[in-house]
């Protein structure tokens, strides 16, 4: 095996090659470090590269392998995590100047479990400030989308998507409050999974909205996300809200046929006139892929879902403002102007508005429950359009309609699953026409399922992935 092949291997392939002795952990780590040195100055995926720590962990693993004591499904896999997760004795900025000197005394539970599974921490990834999205002047640089550096890689787990698409790590861990993992996965052409709320511990994860925050496994393939989820899921006494349900082997069911699986297109998310035509065509083509594999394909209605973006912002931003009250009072000057304005505005939301949003959330969840009695898998686009240009995201709002279109519309696609506490995954689902967008851009296909139905969700996503080739394409920014 050539060393040049290492960055383009999946996490599962990397672990297998290390266990078999085809490559060493040090070779894998050094290869990624060399790519980071070469490509990341333009991409800005990383805030902190854990160079010495990663090489030291690789050498220790080599000793364990020689003694026959090395174990774990992520054996030797170089993994990078969003800088929202605590890392012992390593800077954890949360993408903000407010935390520019914060060095935790312990690892987040998910980071500790990745290490216990044999994974090697490669570095801390760039993100929108405080996991909010909309940062105008990111203090650690603006991450560039490897498919087009002038376009957004998605928010807020920006670096988690960029690093994967540019092959600057074998797998990554993002965080998904309302789509912050699935959105970057869609824009960057990789896979992003939001688990069921309480499936994964949140201890050591700086919060945005406590009852919607979720650690988000991200990978080059569906099986990589299944592998990581299996490593990090399960009850954690440090997070008493985590479920005590047994953690299955999420990789075991991959490859099973999906004949008879009931698949339902969410009508309200597909009928919008504002959806990019290539995105709409890609979702319809995906339904045909499921149909060809024997799935029962139809439509379902979730009437409140077009308002999910507004409901999400009404709840999440208000919760976020409450969690950051001390920062707003004592360090507002350290916040990005957009973050400060958004938090200050959310702090003024009347109780009756928050109460109405909370009630609407319950209604939305009930509508999801009714839809999931009719189907096993829900289908939609992850985002209604491909990655927008950075300048489009930072342009001043021109009207109330502009606010609704830019701030609420796209959030309905992913925020709905967070509001309903359901699992969802984004997988590569096609590309836009090069002529229409001056270069082909990734399209994300989103699948959702019932609570704790990750096995079925991953099975369906894997079946689609194996029937298509979208996940095998390499971004122009990944070359070199």
User: Which of these is catalytic: 26, 160, 172, 180?
Assistant: 180
Query: Which residue among 26, 128, 156, 339 is the active-site one?
Result: 156
Partner residues linked to 467 by β-bridges: none
Reply yes or no: is the peptide bond before residue 156 cis, omega within 30 of 0. yes
Indicate if 180 belongs to the active site: yes
Active site annotation includes 359: no
For the beta sheet containing 262-266, the strands, ordered from the edge strand earlier in sequence to the opposite edge, are 46-49, 120-125, 78-82, 171-175, 215-219, 191-194, 424-431, 442-448, 377-381, 262-266, 296-300
Contact status, residue 382 vs residue 444, Cβ threshold 8 Å: yes
Choose the catalytic residue: 26, 82, 115, 128. 82
Per the structure block, which two tokens stand in for 17?
Answer: 């090659």
Is 71 catalytic? The answer is no
Active site residues: 82, 156, 180
């Amino acid at each position: 095996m050539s060393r040049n092949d290492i960055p383009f291997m999946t996490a599962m392939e990397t672990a297998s090659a290390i266990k078999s002795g085809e490559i060493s952990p040090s070779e894998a780590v050094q290869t990624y470090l060399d790519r980071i040195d070469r490509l990341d100055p333009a991409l800005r995926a990383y805030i902190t590269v854990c160079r010495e720590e990663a090489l030291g962990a690789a050498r220790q693993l080599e000793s364990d392998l020689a003694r026959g004591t090395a174990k774990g499904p992520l054996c030797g896999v170089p993994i990078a995590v969003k800088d929202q997760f605590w890392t012992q004795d390593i800077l954890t900025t949360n993408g903000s100047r407010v935390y520019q000197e914060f060095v935790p005394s312990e690892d987040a539970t998910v980071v500790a479990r990745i290490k216990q599974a044999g994974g090697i921490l490669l570095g801390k990834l760039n993100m929108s400030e405080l996991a909010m999205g909309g940062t105008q002047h990111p203090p650690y640089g603006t991450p560039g989308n490897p498919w087009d550096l002038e376009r957004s890689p998605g928010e807020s787990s920006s670096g988690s998507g960029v690093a994967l698409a540019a092959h600057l790590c074998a797998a990554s861990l993002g965080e998904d409050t309302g789509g912050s993992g699935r959105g970057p996965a869609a824009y960057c052409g990789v896979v992003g999974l939001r688990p069921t709320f309480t499936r994964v511990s949140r201890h050591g994860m700086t919060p945005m909205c406590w009852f919607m925050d979720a650690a988000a496994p991200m990978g080059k393939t569906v099986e990589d996300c299944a592998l990581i989820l299996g490593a990090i899921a399960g009850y954690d006494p440090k997070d008493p809200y985590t479920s005590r349900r047994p953690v299955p082997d999420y990789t075991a069911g991959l490859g099973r046929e999906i004949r008879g699986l009931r698949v339902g297109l969410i009508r309200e998310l597909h009928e919008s006139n504002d959806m990019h035509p290539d995105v709409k065509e890609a979702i319809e083509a995906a339904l045909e892929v499921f149909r060809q594999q024997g799935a029962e394909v139809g439509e379902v209605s979730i009437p409140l879902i077009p308002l999910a973006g507004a409901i999400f912002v009404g709840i999440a931003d208000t919760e976020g403002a409450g969690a950051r009250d001390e920062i707003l009072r004592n360090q507002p000057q350290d916040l990005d102007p957009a973050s400060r304005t958004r938090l200050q505005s959310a702090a003024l939301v009347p109780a009756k508005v928050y109460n109405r949003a909370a009630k609407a959330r319950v209604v939305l969840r009930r509508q999801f429950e009714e839809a999931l009695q009719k189907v096993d898998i829900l289908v939609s686009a992850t985002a209604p359009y491909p990655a927008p240009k950075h300048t489009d995201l930072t342009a001043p709002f021109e009207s109330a309609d502009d606010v609704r279109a830019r701030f609420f519309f796209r959030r309905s696609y992913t925020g709905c699953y967070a509001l309903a506490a359901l699992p969802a995954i984004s997988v590569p689902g096609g590309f836009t026409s090069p002529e229409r967008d001056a270069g082909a851009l990734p399209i994300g296909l989103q699948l959702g399922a019932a609570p704790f139905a990750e096995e079925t969700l991953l099975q369906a996503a894997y079946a689609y992935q194996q029937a298509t080739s979208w996940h095998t394409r390499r971004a122009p920014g990944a070359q070199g």
